[in-house]
């Protein structure tokens, strides 16, 4: 328990340290504002007593002027505190948002498969936003409130100790109640955040699948689920809110009792001429002022509950480890890289094996075509090669090095993958082609696109490489998307390329263009092609046929073509490209 508190504190300090200077200034400004607030009622007291004693107009004017100047100064200080508080809050929470995003991007696919993007947005932004006030103001406001409380009570003891004693009793009772119930709303606040993340996940998922939702007339069903998710957020939110406002309500009741007691005592002393009218006013003012820091502490207890649930969720997220442990080796042989799979077994879930005992070798510079029915494990094979998942047993070697011993950056620098789905990012055409790598020159991009057949498309764009593209990929046709993806990988000059061909039919001209681009891409590297067209297979050296995650056939293309019993020869005879799927 103590250790977890220390960890939370150390964790919090990590994000507050970079803004410690600003926090210091914030504290000073708050103390100055507290001082002004404490002094102002005393000026009013003097004003009343001077006026009641038929004092000189000039001293009344001086007192009124001082009051006004201090009131204006206090306003300025309040604005400065608010500005700096927001500044500190944004700086510190953005550091945390950055850490969370970086961490999520490194987590393995098993983690991401069960989390929707909407839920992740809530965790990276929503939870952190809930902590923003805590980051910027919690420490400052708690310190400020205690200083103000100490100031008020200290002054009160110099004025009238029985009244000061009642006020002190009330203050301790309020703070005690808040400390006692401060954790009451933490769990329900955490549940509320969870429900909210689930709602965002749901909305994101349905909007991403809008075509299917509309085409299948699924809107009423989606709305029904949406209302249920909303209801869950509402119920959890209401419970969390009720548990959070309990401390506040407790102080409101205590405060009403304290004000009554203090005023009764004050009037009693005034009627007995033990205190002046000005002092009675001062006592009244200080009693009212006492409400502020106590209410502030109550608010901060609520903020603490909200923040603690966010901190717990963020720490949980940061504590989740990727199953992909990086290796340290960075050196791979120059030139095209060979590939070996040795008795590789793999499954997504323990109960359903996907790859069984896969063993094959591709020598540097060779091309391997992989075919197999839908679900036979073709994509899974490329995913394990790119370390999106860990294999269960066996070994995969690239350039003779086990990929588990390689650093991920070394692997991705030399191994490229062209997928069927091209993801576009919000940015220029150039950035989308280079994936934001500023070291690739425009002339190299244009030369490459010319070679791969994408130049015409780029020239048709209004501002060439500077054309702004929108996120997604819907602005590209299937053929363009494939050319785009090929160009992207080509620009990185890989030594081993995995190409997942589009399974959709393309027109003859686009197919020819694609074939030229693939040939160009694979001239200087080893190639693994998940083939969907017979023409592609003509260009490969070896063919592997997968079925139910096992190798059904593996051999040199020419030999298989001559063997009438082979799967490939059968394909050539029937010409049924759909059997390649």
Ligand X SMILES: Nc1ncnc2c1ncn2[C@@H]1O[C@H](COP(=O)(O)OP(=O)(O)OP(=O)(O)O)[C@@H](O)[C@H]1O
> Residues in the site for ligand X, rule: CB under 6 A?
113, 348-349, 354, 372, 374-380, 581
Complex with ligand X: residue 103 or 550, whichever CB lies closer? 550
Closer by beta carbon to ligand X, 239 or else 550: 550
Cβ distance to ligand X smaller for residue 381 or 415? 381
Of 404, 393, 397, nearest in space to 346 by CA: 393
For residues 111 and 348, which CB has a smaller minimum distance to ligand X in the complex?
A: 348
Measured distance CA(403)–CA(383) in Å, rounded: 12
What CA–CA distance (Å, rounded) separates 270 from 276? 6
CB 384 → ligand X: shortest distance, Å? 10
Distance CA 303, CA 145 (A): 15
Q: What are phi and psi of 339, to 5 degrees?
A: -135, 135
Name residue 367's beta-bridge partners: 527
C-beta closer to ligand X: residue 131 or 498: 498
Shortest distance, position 76 Cβ to ligand X, whole Å = 58
**DSSP secondary structure of 239-278:** HHHHHHHHHHHHHHHHHHHHHHHHHHHHHHHHHTTSS-HH
Q: How far is CA 471 from CA 97, 468, 474, 492, in A?
A: 21, 10, 9, 21
Rounded to whole angstroms, the Cα distance separating 571 from 543 reads: 12
Q: 118: closest CA among 2, 268, 226?
A: 226
Tokens read off for 411: 């692997």
**Tokens representing 46?**
């003097």
In the complex, the smallest distance separating the C-beta of residue 500 from ligand X, rounded to whole angstroms, is 8
Token look-up 């700086």 returns: 91
Beta strands in 363-406 (DSSP E): 367-372, 393-398, 401-402
Q: In this complex, which beta carbon is closest to ligand X, that of residue 138 or of residue 348? A: 348
Dist. CA 317–CA 315, nearest whole Å: 5
Closest distance to ligand X from the beta carbon of 522 (Å): 20
Distance between alpha carbon 276 and the CA centroid of its chain, in Å?
Answer: 60
Q: Which residue, chain included where needed, has tokens 């106590």?
A: 294
Pairwise CA distance, residues 109 & 249, whole Å: 47
CA dist 96 and 132 (Å) reads 10
> Residue 193 or residue 378: which is nearer to ligand X going by CB?
378
Q: How far is the CB of 110 from ligand X (least distance, A)?
A: 8
Nearer to ligand X, 108 or 204 (CB): 108
Q: For residue 579, which of 541, 540, 552, 542 has the smallest C-alpha distance?
A: 552
Least distance to ligand X, CB of residue 524, Å: 27
Residue 222: CB minimum distance to ligand X, A: 23
Q: Which is nearer to ligand X, 141 or 378 (CB)?
A: 378
Nearer to ligand X by Cβ, of 209 and 375: the residue is: 375
SS (H, E, C) 420-441: CCCCECCEEHHHHHHCCCCCCC
CB nearer to ligand X: pick between 469 and 540: 540
Q: Are β-strands 496-500 and 468-469 bridged in parallel, bridged antiparallel, or unpaired?
A: unpaired
Q: Output 562 or 576, the one with its CB closest to ligand X.
A: 576
Name the minimum Å distance from CB 233 to ligand X.
28
Q: Residue 34 CB, nearest distance to ligand X (Å)?
A: 57
Q: Taking the complex as a whole, how short is the minimal distance between the CB of residue 474 and ligand X, in angstroms?
A: 21
The distance of closest approach from Cβ of residue 349 to ligand X in the complex, given in angstroms and rounded to an integer, is 6
Do 290 and 167 form a contact (C-beta atoms < 8 A)?
yes
Nearest distance from residue 347's CB to ligand X, in Å?
Answer: 8
Three-class SS state of 566: coil
DSSP state of 369: E
* Residues β-bridged to residue 369: 529, 543
Cα gap 24→139, rounded to integer Å: 11
């Amino acid at each position: 328990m103590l250790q977890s508190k220390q960890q939370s504190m150390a964790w919090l300090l990590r994000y507050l340290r970079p803004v410690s200077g600003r926090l210091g200034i914030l504290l000073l400004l708050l103390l100055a504002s507290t001082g002004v607030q404490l002094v102002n009622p005393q000026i009013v007291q003097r004003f009343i007593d001077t006026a009641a004693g038929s004092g000189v107009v000039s001293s009344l004017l001086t007192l009124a002027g001082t009051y006004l100047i201090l009131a204006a100064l206090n306003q300025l200080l309040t604005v400065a505190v608010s500005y700096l508080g927001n500044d500190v809050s944004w700086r510190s929470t953005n550091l945390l948002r950055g850490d969370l995003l970086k961490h999520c991007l490194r987590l393995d696919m098993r983690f991401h498969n069960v989390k929707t993007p909407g839920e992740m947005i809530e965790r990276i932004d929503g939870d952190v936003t809930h902590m923003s006030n805590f980051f910027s103001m919690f420490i400052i406001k708690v310190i400020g409130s205690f200083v103000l409380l100490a100031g008020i009570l200290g002054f009160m003891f110099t004025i009238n100790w029985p009244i000061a004693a009642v006020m002190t009793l009330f203050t301790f009772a309020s703070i005690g109640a808040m400390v006692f119930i401060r954790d009451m709303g933490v769990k329900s606040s955490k549940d509320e955040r969870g429900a909210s993340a689930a709602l965002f996940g749901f909305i994101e998922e349905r909007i991403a699948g809008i075509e299917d939702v509309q085409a299948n007339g699924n809107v009423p069903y989606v709305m029904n689920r949406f209302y249920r998710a909303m209801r869950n957020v509402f119920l959890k939110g209401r419970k969390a809110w009720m548990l959070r406002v309990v401390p506040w309500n407790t102080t409101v009741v205590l405060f009403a009792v304290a004000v009554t007691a203090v005023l009764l005592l004050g009037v009693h002393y005034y009627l007995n001429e033990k205190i002046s009218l000005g002092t009675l006013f001062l006592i009244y003012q200080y009693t009212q002022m006492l409400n502020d820091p106590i209410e502030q502490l109550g608010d901060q207890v609520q903020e603490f509950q909200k923040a603690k649930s966010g901190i717990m969720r963020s720490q949980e997220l940061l504590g989740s480890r990727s199953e992909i442990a990086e290796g340290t080796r960075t050196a791979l042989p120059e030139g095209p890289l060979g590939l070996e799979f040795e008795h590789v077994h793999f499954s997504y879930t323990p109960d359903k094996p996907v790859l069984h005992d896969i063993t094959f070798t591709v020598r540097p510079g060779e091309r391997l075509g992989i075919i197999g029915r839908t679900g036979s494990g073709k994509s899974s094979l490329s995913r394990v090669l790119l370390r999106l998942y860990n294999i269960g047993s066996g070994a995969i070697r690239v350039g003779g090095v086990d990929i588990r011993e390689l650093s991920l950056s070394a692997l991705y620098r030399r191994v490229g993958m062209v997928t069927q789905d091209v993801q576009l990012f919000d940015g220029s055409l150039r950035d989308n082609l280079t994936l934001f790598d500023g070291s690739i020159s425009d002339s190299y991009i244009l030369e490459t696109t010319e070679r791969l057949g994408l130049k015409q498309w780029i020239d048709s764009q209004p501002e060439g490489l500077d054309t702004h593209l929108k996120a997604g990929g819907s602005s590209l046709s299937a053929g363009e998307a494939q050319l785009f993806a090929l160009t992207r990988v080509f620009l990185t000059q890989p030594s081993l390329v995995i190409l997942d061909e589009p399974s959709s039919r393309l027109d003859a001209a686009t197919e020819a263009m694609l074939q030229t681009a693939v040939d160009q891409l694979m001239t200087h590297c080893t190639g693994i092609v998940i083939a969907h067209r017979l023409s592609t297979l003509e260009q490969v050296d070896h063919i592997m046929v997968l079925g139910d995650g096992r190798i059904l056939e593996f051999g040199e293309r020419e030999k298989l073509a001559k063997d009438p019993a082979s799967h490939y020869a059968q394909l050539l005879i029937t010409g049924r490209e759909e059997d390649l799927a």
